[in-house]
Structure 1
């Protein structure tokens, strides 16, 4: 009977130690999870800042594109006015669109009064 009580006492002591080790390991794991949670929350904040920055960049780019579209429209209006003026001046239809960037007004050669000199040493 005494051997049985001593054996039971040893088992209880071992069970208690095992449970305490499990508690300690679980607390350590909990601490690691808390650190991971804190890191992930910081990551969320950083990603939110990046998202805000990117949204601002998208808005800026959209505004730039709208400005470009408006500039293209204005330039097209200028081309149309130039075509109308050319038509009135020359009395015929404007050059085809393939040559839209080439003026159909007569080209004159400009002579400069400067002469090039070659210097020999």
Structure 2
């Protein structure tokens, strides 16, 4: 017999011990395979998450660029509004100064137009007898 075996150990006990060790080894190997599969799945999850994270970063960059474009458009609109307000203010000042310095158009033209019409229009209708007789 082997000197490593404790005294009083039978062959049957040794075989049972071997079988248990083989079962444990098989279960351990199965567990190892399961852990390896889980690890591979987690690594795939990490890769998918990294890809998703990259896409999200790209989306954030796109949104930032869009916001910058909108900010620029807002500034341009504000400049246009400010320019329109300035032009309107200048036109308003010009119109106010014109109103104070000139008489209204109808006051300037009405009397002169009436005078001109009075001189051009005869006081009585004038017909030529020759025209009436021919008709």
After superposition, the C-alpha distances for 1:15-34 in whole angstroms (9 at most, x for unaligned) are: 10010001100111111011
1:45 maps to: 54
Q: Unaligned regions of 5+ residues in structure 1, if any?
A: 93-105, 107-121
Residue 105 of structure 2 is aligned to residue 61 of structure 1? no
Counterparts of 1:107-118 in structure 2 under 5 Å? Answer: none
Higher relative contact order (CA 8 A, sep 6+): 1
After superposition, the C-alpha distances for 1:56-107 in whole angstroms (9 at most, x for unaligned) are: 1000000000001101110000111111011111129xxxxxxxxxxxxx9x
Cα distance in 1, alignment partners of residues 35 and 71 from structure 2? 52
Cα distance in 2, alignment partners of residues 91 and 81 from structure 1? 16
Q: 1:23 pairs with 25, 32, 50, which one? A: 32
Cα distance in 2, alignment partners of residues 69 and 6 from structure 1? 92
Number of positions where the alignment pairs a residue of Structure 1 with one of Structure 2:
93
2:97 maps to: 88
2:18 maps to: 9
Relative to the length of structure 2, the TM-score reads 0.65
Higher relative helix content: 2
